[in-house]
Amino acid sequence: MNRPAKLMIGLLLCLFALVLLWVFHAALMQSPGARLADLAMDSLPLSGVKNPVTAVLLSYRAYDTLLELAVLLAALLGIWSLGAATPGFQPAGAALAAMVSWVVPLLILTGGYLLWVGGYAPGGAFQAGALLGSAGVLLRLAGDERAGLPSERAQRRLVVAGIAVFALVGLGTMVAGIGFLTYPPGWSKWLILLIETAATVSIGVTLAAAYAGGKPRSRASDGATP
Amino acid sequence: MNGPTLFGLCGAALVGLGLYGLICQPGALRKILAFNLIGSGVFLLFGVIAKRGGGALSAAGLGVDGDPVPQALIITGLVVAFAATSIAVALLLRLAEISGRSTLERAGSGSHSPTHERAPAPERAA
């Protein structure tokens, strides 16, 4: 692409950004009016959790979250279908290995904390899953070819676990006659926690496996190529 | 300049920069990064607009900062953006591995930007 054309595009995009800023400003200046926020807060006592964001994700719009897990699964299937993962880096030196052996357990612990705290404060399955995934990324950067994950067969099960538990809870409530993913009052907190726990593990494994960038190699072949 | 305006400025700048990169950069990896830049800008704008619903809520003494619905939608959007990016990068790596190219231009039309063309790799037996 030649220079004047690039300059032209840059100028046009500057104008576009200004228009965007103006639209944003106009939206911010508008009177609050009727908001979904009020509705979300009104039904919060019924949802079983105290954090409105978790209530939106796991209760009011649980379909969204279910399909989001399906998107993650589909992405991982796409990545796995492209072939085997590249071999990882060489084993880490002493300093990096020592840091990883400290940070990874802390990440897992913090992930568990975020999962629990999501019931009444910022946190939840996705934040906790992201921490688990980053633990896997660290392990792979430090030389573990499989990013700290178990065998391929176990990975398949873990990756599907989140969406499977979610769908099973939904089907269970449907069979009970109260509708797909409509939690019975009193049970909702524990059902949400169950779904979130499975989703956390699933998300963590999916993110780490996606970072590895391909189907996991079997350990047997590792022995041949050290 | 107050907080929301600053965030809005950053969001608009990110969207503009991302669109520029998406249009003008020939390398596919740069296009993916630029696309993520647009996404970050949109999430930032959306997150700040969520503040609008929070005014009424914090006035009611609920101690909540911001409309929870956009926040939840952003969390959903982040995950979908991550999934799309990871599969795009995996496809790009595969493309580079098979054809030796890292751009989306056709082999014939890419002659004016030889720096982005690597020597074509021999055909791999599938």
Per-residue pLDDT tens over the stretch A158-212: 999 999 999 999 999 888 888 888 888 788 888 888 999 999 999 999 999 998 8
In a domain, B111, yes or no: no
Q: Which of A9, A37, A74 sits opposite B67 (nearest CB)?
A: A37
- If one counts the domains in chain A, the total is 2
If one counts every other C-beta atom within 10 angstroms of the C-beta of residue A190, the result is 11
Residues of B in contact with A213 (CB under 8 A): 89-90, 93
Q: Which domain holds residue A66?
A: 36-216
pLDDT of A58 > 90? The answer is: no
Cβ–Cβ contact A3 with B under 8 A: no
Instruction: Report pLDDT for B55.
Output: 54
Same domain membership, residue A143 and residue A88: yes
Residue B14 falls within a domain, yes or no?
yes
**Residue B56 located in a structural domain:** yes
Any B CB within 8 A of A68 CB: yes
**Mean pLDDT, range B14-22, rounded to an integer:** 93
Is the pLDDT higher at A15 or at B51?
A: A15
* Region class of A147: left (phi > 0), else alpha (psi between -120 and 50), else beta: left
Reference B11, options A31, A16, A7; nearest CA is: A16
pLDDT in tens, A113-167: 999 988 887 888 899 999 999 999 999 888 887 888 888 888 899 999 999 999 9
In a domain, A226, yes or no: no
Please check whether residue B121 lies inside any domain of the structure.
no
* H-state helical runs in chain A: 3-29, 36-42, 44-47, 52-55, 62-81, 94-117, 125-141, 152-175, 188-212, 219-224
**Measured between CB atoms, does A61 come within 8 Å of chain B?**
yes
Amino acid at B26: P
Mean pLDDT of B52-73: 65
CATH code for the domain of B74: 1.10.287.3510
Residue of A155, A76, A89 lying closest to B90 (CA atoms): A76
Question: How far apart, in whole angstroms, are the C-alpha atoms of residue A159 and residue A206?
Answer: 6
Same structural domain, A26 and A65: no
Q: Given A14, A20, A56, which is nearest B72 (Cβ)?
A: A56
A13–B89: do the CB atoms touch at under 8 Å? no
Q: Distance between CA A88 and CA A143 in Å, rounded?
A: 6
A72 and A55 both lie in a single domain: yes
Statement to judge: residues A148 and A211 lie in one domain: yes
Whether A222 maps to a domain, the answer reads: no
Residue B100 CA, distance from chain mean position: 25
Q: Which of B19, B66, B84 sits opposite A13 (nearest CB)?
A: B19
Residue B45 belongs to domain spanning: 3-103
Residue B37, in any domain of the structure: yes
Q: Are residues A70 and A13 in the same domain?
A: no
Q: What is the mean pLDDT of residues B68-97?
A: 89
pLDDT of residue B69: 84
A to B CB pairs, distance under 8 Å: 133
Residue A63, domain member (yes or no): yes
pLDDT score at A74: 93
Domain co-membership, A15 together with A40: no
Q: How many domains in chain B?
A: 1
| Position B62 in a domain | yes
So what's the ipTM on this one?
0.80
